[in-house]
Amino acid sequence: GENVGLHLPTLSVQEGDNSIINCAYSNSASDYFIWYKQESGKGPQFIIDIRSNMDKRQGQRVTVLLNKTVKHLSLQIAATQPGDSAVYFCAENAGGTSYGKLTFGQGTILTVHP
């Protein structure tokens, strides 16, 4: 399953499918990006990050892809599980005088059906 940008904030997939969550960021000066997972009633939980000198980074079952040309970030989750159901946020940091200032995207609700 895949959502496109910030205009389709809900993604529903079946357990075992691969999921792709997309994010369009706005600041071409951003040089650090993070994906967070937020479950209901909890704070955001770090999933994976990537710096602007990379275009791909892999973690456990997750991969982040960065396309600076079109200012696009994606999170791929392999073999999605019901426990992956949550809201997923991308966040960007522009560095410079904005060090520490994370700007979050609108979020995508991922629902995984058993």
Partner 1 sequence: DTEVTQTPKHLVMGMTNKKSLKCEQHMGHRAMYWYKQKAKKPPELMFVYSYEKLSINESVPSRFSPECPNSSLLNLHLHALQPEDSALYLCASSQGQGALMNTEAFFGQGTRLTVV
Binding site for partner 1 (CB under 8 A): 31-32, 34, 36, 41-46, 49, 51, 89, 93, 95, 98-107
CA dihedral 109, 57, 103, 52 (to 10 degrees): -150
In the complex with partner 1, the residue whose CB is nearer, 83 or 100, is 100
What one-character-per-residue DSSP string does 42-71 give?
Answer: S--EEEEEEETT-SEEE-SSEEEEEETTTT
In the complex with partner 1, the residue whose CB is nearer, 43 or 83, is 43
Q: How far is the CB of 42 from partner 1 (least distance, A)?
A: 6
Name residue 74's amino acid: S
Q: How far is the CB of 32 from partner 1 (least distance, A)?
A: 4
In the complex with partner 1, the residue whose CB is nearer, 17 or 61, is 61
Beta-bridged to residue 111, according to DSSP, are 12
Q: How far is the CB of 57 from partner 1 (least distance, A)?
A: 13
Distance (Å, whole) CA 23 – CA 39: 19
